[in-house]
A and B are shown apart, each in its own frame.
Chain A
Amino acid sequence: MNVWMLLGPVLLLGVVLGFVTYAILLERKVLGWMQGRHGPNRVGPWGIFQTVADVFKLLIKEDTIPAKADRTLFKMAPVIAFVPAFVVLAAIPFSEDLVFADIGVGVLYIISLSSITTIGILVGGWASNNKYALLGAMRSVAQMISYEIPLVMSVVGVVMAAGTLNLTGIVEAQQRMWFIIPQIIGFLVFFTASLAELNRTPFDLPEAESELVAGYHVEYSGFRFAFFMLAEYVYVFAMAALTTVLFLGGWNPVFGLEFIPPLIWFVLKFALIVFTIFWIRATLPRIRVDQLMQLGWKVLLPLALFNIFLSALLKEVLEGWY
């Protein structure tokens, strides 16, 4: 038991909180620029303290619990939603040396633990004793379950090509070519499904303000609400890191530019994915519920299955190349 075993996770939590703070600012800035606005620019120079101020406001707010709510579950739900989001990060390899837990079944570990958050959301919606909250939770859970299947199926192609479920092994298998090129169908399915899992636009139906008031967290305020939001952004972090590892070659450099440290490469690819997520939010409108389910079951799932078939075929035919 050395010092890093204790200090490492604390440092990671600090990094993640810093990421969430500035990801929210960047998101608002990027949205602003794409819509011809300035974005937040009042608090601090260039608005850099905007999120800090927002979080501070949430923390000092009165903590309200509805009278008819199930008090214990109401308090537990944000915790159930947040803890898996952070635990998931343990398995992600940021560079060759910087990995907290090198688990043999890393990919499955991340996907399976993230499904516990769904329970937190459902419980939060139910415990509020509010019909909008319950409806929002139901929508959210239905969406997350439907899109988890294509998400897992699209990873199968990568696992077949790499021959391992270990994330470090998957990155090492991409030294010659990133999996985004041979697994382009898998990447498209994975990215679409991950947007839906993250409840991001165009799949932000669980939080559709115009239809559902706010979704599963209507009754939440103060720091409990902040915890739900934090869980959501920590998942953005986890999902962007997972996409980087699975499809963009993790810390492997491009064009033999090896003088740049591996961690910087990881951060650059990671930032590209995060920016793409914000970009899509500024570009696409929200889709309807029936379209959402049709896309998930009738387009993404068959595509993912086709990708598995194609990967198996190519692996046999083009042995050595692939």
Chain B
Amino acid sequence: MIEMSGEFIAFFVLAVCAIGGAVFMLNFTRVVHMVLSLAFTLLSIAGIYVLLNAEFLAVAQVLIYTGSVSILMLFGIMLTRHRDQEETVVRPWHGFFSFIGVGALFGILVHTIYNTPFEESTASVKEFTVSRLGEIVFKQYVIPFEALSILLLVALVGAVILARKESKT
């Protein structure tokens, strides 16, 4: 039985917001509305991170996903053909097959979750602070971190080169 604590109510509200945002995103026809509901979902997920005591992750989520990525998408849409609307195409049997696909995926997920033994005990989440996060990232996982930075740098340089080529032709 789930006890009705403040945490549970908060989780429930945030989960409804996240799912609601996602459903709206699928149902809207204008692209700008879609991006906004996506941003709303991402913000609700940040709230769930706060509930899990992952403050840093939550703040990073808001800064990168809700803030930057959504704005980038909005920019892209507004500078291009922002009046586009999705046209509804009537396809027979589409709903039926999607339902079967989604139901199968749901069944597999639930089956896997219930049958996977979680043997290791949960660490105490209260003592995860930003300083410990920093120590782990920059001491234990410093080589993967550097590799990731190089990957991002390569992507950045690649983007610059692609943009330059386009302007020449």
Select the residue from B62, B67, B74, B79 with max chain A CB neighbours within 10 A: B67
Quick one: CB contact mask for A112-147 with B, threshold 8 Å, 1 for yes?
110110110011001000000010001001000100
Name the B residues within 8 Å of A119 (CB-CB).
36, 39, 66-67, 70-71, 74
> Could you tell me if A73 and B32 are in contact, using CB atoms closer than 8 angstroms?
yes
B143 contacts the other chain (CB 8 A): no
Quick one: CB contact mask for A62-103 with B, threshold 8 Å, 1 for yes?
000000001001000000000000000000000000000001
- Measured CA separation A123–B63 after assembly (Å): 18
> Number of A residues contacting the other chain (C-beta, 8 Å)?
24
> Could you tell me if B130 and A73 are in contact, using CB atoms closer than 8 angstroms?
no
Least distance between B16 CB and chain A CB atoms (Å):
19
Name the B residues within 8 Å of A116 (CB-CB).
43, 62, 66-67
Chain B at the A interface: SS class: helix
User: Among A108, A145, A164, which residue has its beta carbon within 8 angstroms of that of B56?
Assistant: A108
- Measured CA separation A115–B63 after assembly (Å): 7
Least distance between B24 CB and chain A CB atoms (Å):
12
A109 contacts the other chain (CB 8 A): yes
B68 contacts the other chain (CB 8 A): yes
Count CB-based A-B contacts (< 8 Å). 68
Name the A residues within 8 Å of B70 (CB-CB).
119
Chain A 257-311 interface residues, beta-carbon cutoff 8 Å to B: none
- Measured CA separation A141–B66 after assembly (Å): 14
Name the B residues within 8 Å of A111 (CB-CB).
63
* Smallest CB gap from A142: residue in B: B75
A196 contacts the other chain (CB 8 A): no
> Could you tell me if A112 and B71 are in contact, using CB atoms closer than 8 angstroms?
no
> Could you tell me if A105 and B74 are in contact, using CB atoms closer than 8 angstroms?
no
Name the B residues within 8 Å of A165 (CB-CB).
130
Quick one: CB contact mask for B88-125 with A, threshold 8 Å, 1 for yes?
00000000000000000000000000000000000000
> Could you tell me if B71 and A118 are in contact, using CB atoms closer than 8 angstroms?
yes
22 interchain pairs (CB within 8 A)? A70-B30, A70-B32, A73-B32, A104-B55, A104-B56, A104-B129, A105-B59, A108-B56, A108-B59, A108-B60, A109-B55, A111-B63, A112-B59, A112-B63, A113-B62, A115-B63, A118-B67, A118-B71, A119-B67, A138-B78, A141-B71, A164-B131
